Amino acid sequence: MFTIEARKMGYRVHTFSPDSDTPTGQVADIETQADYHDLLAVRTFAQSVDVVTFEFENVPAIAVEAAAEFIEVHPRGEILHTTQNRLREKTFLSSNGFPVTPFQRITDLEGLRGAVSELGYPCVLKTAGFGYDGKGQSKISNEDDIDPAFAGLNNAESVLEAFVPFEKEVSVVCAQDQAGNFVHYGVIENEHRNHILDVSFAPAAVSERVFAEAVDIARAIVDTLGYVGTLCVEFFLTTDERLLVNELAPRPHNSGHLTFDACITSQFEQQLRAVCGLPLGSVDLHRPAAMVNLLGDIWENGEPNWARSLTDPNVKLHIYGKLEPRKGRKMGHLTATAESAREAVRIALEARSRLNPLS
Ligand SMILES: Nc1ncnc2c1ncn2[C@@H]1O[C@H](COP(=O)(O)OP(=O)(O)O)[C@@H](O)[C@H]1O
Ligand SMILES: [Mg+2]
């Protein structure tokens, strides 16, 4: 989606990834397939481009450093290093005074037992690195869950978090350009299923106070990091209306995909503008909007009925071009716009249910 925006504005895109025929590669001018640890390939790549950015935060720091020897990298490698590891990210947030879920660093089973008794049941054990879409997480509801949760880590560094009985989850997608101008898309409301984002809609149903506080926190995080590009801050909103930062995404985020169809400037175009040294575009929302994810699961009964999902003209279909529709894998999304966010959610969910070829 970033590459589509870049091509629209006449930029040529060279993508680097360990895979071939990737969603980005299908749209880019040039696709380099190499391991992120192949520093010769990274350096050759960096010498062929004018600026480097990411759509995935788990690029090893060593690869980013190698690219930065030749060319500007946005967001900076240091920011990527902080945000690609839950422990570093949470430590950064809490030491700068941002509200986060209570957490403890875990290195061994004894430490886990101690941390569980401190944080209480239920709690969630998460690997510090390489987690996404709920991968690398296990919920600990009682003593019997401790050993299997620890065994599931395979000795990876991890974080134990108190489970937050949240009222809802929200996010702020925002961007800052190289001159320090900041824009945001307001508050987006998110619903997860099996720890995977399912539905997002904007505007979120939150009070003015929560809206202002969420945006203030996002702005302060961008400021503290000296961030250039699009950033997403994911929050839990507790039942007593407190905002806790759950995690940061140093890139366009799934909850901001609705900006592609619903806003004057999408989160991907903001990323492009920011990293290329252009001014940011308007974040105005044309109409309230909703996005529902399409996971590989929808292929279970055969090829989804795309045409039927589009019988409502307010529905837009996005398919990413990932080659294999695995269960739980994000393959695309549907966006709907309407007079209200609630109506947009209804339209998008109905469109998704019409995809089932057996229905
Ligand atoms: N401490 C927690 N309390 C309550 N729910 C949680 C907690 N941690 C994760 N979750 C649920 O799992 C989802 C995914 O977790 P998250 O930490 O955002 O990891 P990722 O998105 O990288 O997989 C969250 O959006 C939330 O729905
Ligand atoms: Mg998340």
Same domain, 192 and 337: yes
* Ligand 1 closest atom vs CA 101: 1
The answer to whether residue 119 is domain-embedded is yes
* Ligand 1 closest atom vs CA 234: 18
The answer to whether residue 22 is domain-embedded is yes
Closest residue CA from atom 10 of ligand 1: 195
Q: Which ligand is nearest to the CA of 124?
A: 1
In a 3-state reduction of DSSP, which class is residue 338? coil
Domain boundary among 137, 162, 187: 162
Q: Domain of 195? A: 166-353
CB count, 10 Å around CB of 160?
22
Same domain, 325 and 269: yes
Same domain, 213 and 321: yes
Same domain, 38 and 176: no
Ligand 1: centre distance to CA 124 (Å)? 9
Which residues contact residue 297 at a Cβ distance below 8 angstroms, ignoring those fewer than 6 apart? 327, 328
* Ligand 1 closest atom vs CA 164: 3
Q: What is the CATH number of the domain that holds 54?
A: 3.40.50.20
Q: What is the CATH number of the domain that holds 117?
A: 3.30.1490.20
Burial zone of 220 (CB within 10 Å; 0-12 exposed, 13-18 middle, 19+ buried): middle
Backbone angles phi and psi of 70, in degrees to 5: -110, -25
Dist CA 18 CA 356 (whole Å): 33
Structurally, the chain folds into a number of domains equal to: 3
Instruction: Per-residue pLDDT tens, the chain, 359 aa: give them.
Output: 999 999 999 999 999 999 999 999 999 999 999 999 999 999 999 999 999 999 988 899 899 999 999 999 999 999 999 999 999 999 999 999 999 999 999 999 999 999 999 999 999 999 999 877 778 899 999 999 999 999 998 888 999 999 999 999 999 999 999 999 999 999 999 999 999 999 999 999 999 999 999 999 999 999 999 999 999 999 999 999 999 999 999 999 999 999 999 999 999 999 999 999 999 999 999 999 999 999 999 999 999 999 999 999 999 999 999 999 999 999 999 999 999 999 999 999 999 999 999 98
